[in-house]
A and B are shown apart, each in its own frame.
Chain A
Amino acid sequence: MTGGDGRTDAPADRVLAVPCEGDDLLALFALDTGERLGEVPVGSHPVHATTCRGRTVVATMGERSVTAVDPSGEVTRVETGVLGPSHFAVANGELYVSCSAGDALAVVDPETLTLVDRVAVGAEPHELAVASGGERLYSGSRREGVVDVVDTGSRERIGAIDAGPDARVQGVAVSSDGERGYAVDQRGARVVAFETGGDVAGDAASAGPVRAEAAVGADPYDLVATGNRVFVPGRGDGVVHEFDRELELTAVHEGFSRPVDVFEVAGDWWVLDAGAARLRSFDGAVVETPAPGLVATPVGGAGDRRLAVSHYDDDRVSLVDVDSGTVWTAESPAYPFGSVVV
């Protein structure tokens, strides 16, 4: 994940900001050297961060607020009113935050750092995805098994895609062309595809049914969608399923311990493994890492072959180059999670 602004310019003094869930801190590291620059108290259980309008905004799951940190270190709390801020998405110039302990998305004005609205969605929303153009946002409900469709212009839920009986929707993604959406049903070990277009209006029943579905490895959580490929790690089975855009299976990549995420790094696909201290590509290349990684962040634009890896269980953060191995590794506050490059 790069910053929410999608900026890819790479000044030399970039900072890696790492929410550390166990110590309620945002830890700051010099990206190029790993020098620990300091920590910012941000509230209970910080898990993910994004950048917006020059600020780093942290989702603190143990709060009914998110925390914005500006470049001078000034901290601003933005009330969400609902517990469990988890994932971010930027759409229509506003910052959406899933409140995973409730049934709402908080909408924050990133300029004024105020709550401007809440959008009611299915209970326990988790991951968010935005279709190209930013007019529609998709929110997966872990409790109700739907993907809610939100019109970001009116900030209203305009429909929902039913992911199936007893589905627990975790990951949600939209293809890079914006035409196809995908959702992972963790409970059913499935992935479903749906149309992002169409005349969705009214209530949940008005949204179209899923277009296709496929079985994946046990205990899936996240997924990655490109223009014509979909990757779903199955954490319980140590496999990564690869599909075409219609969810026709094209490959099952095996031999992982607990695969959690997939990254395209300079044209190659690499798998982050929470059960093994390494990154491994689909082609079989292996890069040893200081410890297993739970979350990783590509740190640069095209051509940069580095990932910032959070070693959640080992209280450590590393910068790993898939060509040359570990660039640096540093101790962090407890339970480092989803980092962002500032």
Chain B
Amino acid sequence: MTGQKPDADGADGENATRRGLLRAAAGATVAGAASTAGCLSVTTPADVAAQNEVSGNVGHFVGPSWLADNREDAVVLDARDAERFREERIYRARRVPFDAITARKSTDEGAVPDTDAIADAFGEIGLTPDDDVLVYGASVGSRVTRVAFALAAVGHEGAIRVLNGGLSAWNGRLGTGSRDRVSPTDYEPDPATSTWVTREWLADGAGTFNADGPGLVDVRMPEAYLAAAGSDVLNEDHDRHGHLPGAIDVHWVGNVDGRRMTDPGRLVQLYEVEGELDRSETVVVYGGDNVDPTSTWLTLKAIGFEDVRLYDGGFGEWANVQGDRGRYPVETATNVVVETDGSVGGDDGGGDFSCTG
């Protein structure tokens, strides 16, 4: 990162503001390990639910008590695969056709979300643009956040919320078996182009990111970001390895602590203090695909970043672009890696995090 280092005495206003934000965010909590069951060594469903409550100034993420209080007012969307959905789900939840809501289309500017296809997918499950929505999965991984992004991308007017802790946090009524019948709707998209950026937008700004231009976060594993020779995380389908010029690396898994979101104070530490991102400026996130980076997209928005955008084409598009690759350079020798220690809970395979994560 370029720019001035913080003064030793912290006298400058910018850093004082940053610390203020840190304190404010740290005051917001996700109830966690400190919450104990009433009986030693016994964890009740109520305890689990309590552990996943969200309080303070955190957007989008809500605990199970919110859902219990608002069950009749929100459409509940399940981001998991069909098998998990059939086994057990929140009563009357609708399963999102996941592949459809990751659809992209090619434009002269590069790949962008195919909002028509995404809107059709939401229409198939009976959603209307003004529905208040709650999305859940096995945890709060990137399948869940991709659904949230897809809703934002089609200009969804209703509130978009994510259930902290996933299905295991819910101790209310459950459903099982075949899906409930819903009447399809004609979901008319109102594409929110400010939620994403394109390859050409990034190419125009090459060299400015995390300097005098927008923030840029690569959410992939550090080995992919660094193009670590011989690493098995390097995608063989990519012509080139490394990252976009100026990007910092914060592996998206750091957003997740088991099945719930990482403590907001820790997230502020990761992105604002260690990553030196400015919450009042535009921040672009990208990954190898268009699923995992949505975890960072939603997380940054949840802790108060004002303008967060997704590069939907991802590094796969950038690395393999045809033609004048001098316009789309890749850096390998930068090493601004913010270490994370998160983990994604939930079951494998059909859970709610991308297989590419």
Partner of B326, one of A44, A63, A64, A120: A120
Contact A80 B324 (CB under 8 A): no
Which candidate, A33-41, A81-89, A319-327, is the interface stretch facing chain B? A81-89
Which residue of chain A has its CB nearest to the CB of B328?
A: A120
Contact A103 B207 (CB under 8 A): no
**5 A-B contact pairs sorted by A residue (CB < 8 Å):** A82-B206, A82-B207, A82-B331, A102-B242, A119-B326
Chain B residues within an 8 Å CB radius of A143:
227, 229, 332
Chain B 309-354 residues near chain A, CB threshold 8 A: 324-334
Chain A residues within an 8 Å CB radius of B324:
120
Chain B residues within an 8 Å CB radius of A82:
206-207, 245, 329, 331
Partner of B329, one of A79, A104, A155: A104
Q: A100 contacts the other chain (Cβ, under 8 Å)?
A: yes
Among B207, B241, B245, which residue has the most Cβ atoms of chain A within 10 A? B207
Contact A84 B333 (CB under 8 A): yes
Partner of A123, one of B227, B245, B246: B227
Main secondary structure of the interface of B (DSSP, over half): loop
Q: B46 contacts the other chain (Cβ, under 8 Å)?
A: no
Q: A222 contacts the other chain (Cβ, under 8 Å)?
A: no
Also in contact, A123 and B207, with CB within 8 A (given A64-B245, A83-B245, A103-B240): no
Q: B192 contacts the other chain (Cβ, under 8 Å)?
A: no
Binary interface profile of A, 91-106, with partner B (CB < 8 Å = 1, else 0)?
0000000011111110
Also in contact, A81 and B245, with CB within 8 A (given A64-B207, A120-B326): yes
Also in contact, A123 and B326, with CB within 8 A (given A79-B207, A81-B245, A101-B334): no
* Distance in Å: Cβ of B320 to nearest Cβ of chain A: 13
Which residue of chain A has its CB nearest to the CB of B242?
A: A123
Contact A83 B325 (CB under 8 A): no
Partner of B332, one of A63, A103, A117: A103
Q: A124 contacts the other chain (Cβ, under 8 Å)?
A: yes
Among B206, B211, B329, which residue has the most Cβ atoms of chain A within 10 A? B329
A interface, CB within 8 angstroms of B: 44, 63-65, 79-84, 99-105, 117-120, 123-124, 143, 155
Contact A102 B245 (CB under 8 A): yes
Contact A118 B332 (CB under 8 A): no
Contact B329 A117 (CB under 8 A): no
Contact A124 B332 (CB under 8 A): yes
Which residue of chain B has its CB nearest to the CB of A99?
A: B329
Which residue of chain A has its CB nearest to the CB of B324?
A: A120
Contact B326 A101 (CB under 8 A): no
Chain B residues within an 8 Å CB radius of A124:
332-333
Q: In which size bucket is the chain B interface?
A: 20 to 34
Chain B residues within an 8 Å CB radius of A155:
326
Chain A residues within an 8 Å CB radius of B245:
64, 81-83, 102
For the complex of A and B, the 3 pairs showing the least CB-CB separation, nearest first, are A81-B207, A118-B326, A120-B325
Chain A residues within an 8 Å CB radius of B2:
44, 63
Chain B residues within an 8 Å CB radius of A102:
242, 245, 329-333
* Distance in Å: Cβ of A128 to nearest Cβ of chain B: 15
Bound together, the chains give a CA A99 to CA B329 distance in angstroms of 10
Chain B 227-242 residues near chain A, CB threshold 8 A: 227, 229, 240-242
Bound together, the chains give a CA A104 to CA B2 distance in angstroms of 21
Chain B 242-277 residues near chain A, CB threshold 8 A: 242, 245-246
* Distance in Å: Cβ of A203 to nearest Cβ of chain B: 11
* Distance in Å: Cβ of A103 to nearest Cβ of chain B: 5
* Distance in Å: Cβ of A288 to nearest Cβ of chain B: 37
Bound together, the chains give a CA A120 to CA B320 distance in angstroms of 13
Contact A103 B333 (CB under 8 A): no
Bound together, the chains give a CA A104 to CA B223 distance in angstroms of 21
* Distance in Å: Cβ of A186 to nearest Cβ of chain B: 15
Contact B207 A101 (CB under 8 A): no
Bound together, the chains give a CA A105 to CA B24 distance in angstroms of 45
Bound together, the chains give a CA A120 to CA B327 distance in angstroms of 8
Chain B residues within an 8 Å CB radius of A79:
207
Binary interface profile of B, 195-217, with partner A (CB < 8 Å = 1, else 0)?
00000000000110001000000
Contact A103 B330 (CB under 8 A): yes
